[in-house]
Amino acid sequence: MKRLKFLMLIVCLMAMVSSVNAQEQLTTKIAEWERAKAYTKEYLDAMPETGYALKPTPEMRSFAEQMLHLTDANYGFTAAATGEKSPYGFGDLEKITDKSKANVTKVVLAGYDYVIAGLKKLSATQMQEKVKLMNRFDLTKDMVFTKDFEHQTHHRGQATVYLRLAGVKPPQEKLF
């Protein structure tokens, strides 16, 4: 009997540690998104107004469209993970007509705020629930946010070339 109680105590302690660990991971994920927002803002600020229409080749997105594409995914992925309706349809942001520096900056930063607010609404337990992304991928909510983070990092990285083509030095890498 004593042995059974001891084993139950150990199991309970392990569950508590696991729960604390999962909550720490969620807190870290939120902090990483806040860092990504600040880093992206540095890119938006660095590009001169005239560079927002810059396309390295005619078939590529402009700098503004690149940033709006990044934001489209931020809204779409977060909506999929939280179950809330996105304020924008997937792909709609790239098509907005006001692609000025001020408007794109406002829209992109609001997209990051949407992601961060979505993460803050979820518990560590909810992050392990499965959802369907893009009507074809069964992923945990945590993985949806991970894939979105990868996506925004990829497109912000592409924006480095746009800045260089505009004669602008890209922001210093912000890993931490």
Q: Is there a binding annotation on residue 155?
A: yes
Residue type, 116: I
Domain CATH for 149:
1.20.120.450
d(CA 88, CA 174): 29
Q: Is 154 annotated as a binding residue?
A: no
Task: Confirm whether 141 is domain-assigned.
Answer: yes
Tell me: is residue 69 an annotated ligand-binding position.
yes
* Structural domain includes residue 94: yes
Report the distance separating Cα 29 and Cα 25, nearest Å.
Answer: 6
119-145: per-residue pLDDT in tens? Answer: 999 999 999 999 998 888 899 999 999
User: Positive or negative, the Cα torsion across 69, 75, 79, 82?
Assistant: positive
pLDDT digits (tens, 9 = 90+) for 92-118: 999 999 999 999 999 999 999 999 999
The answer to whether residue 95 sits within a structural domain is yes
- The single-letter code of the amino acid at 94 is E
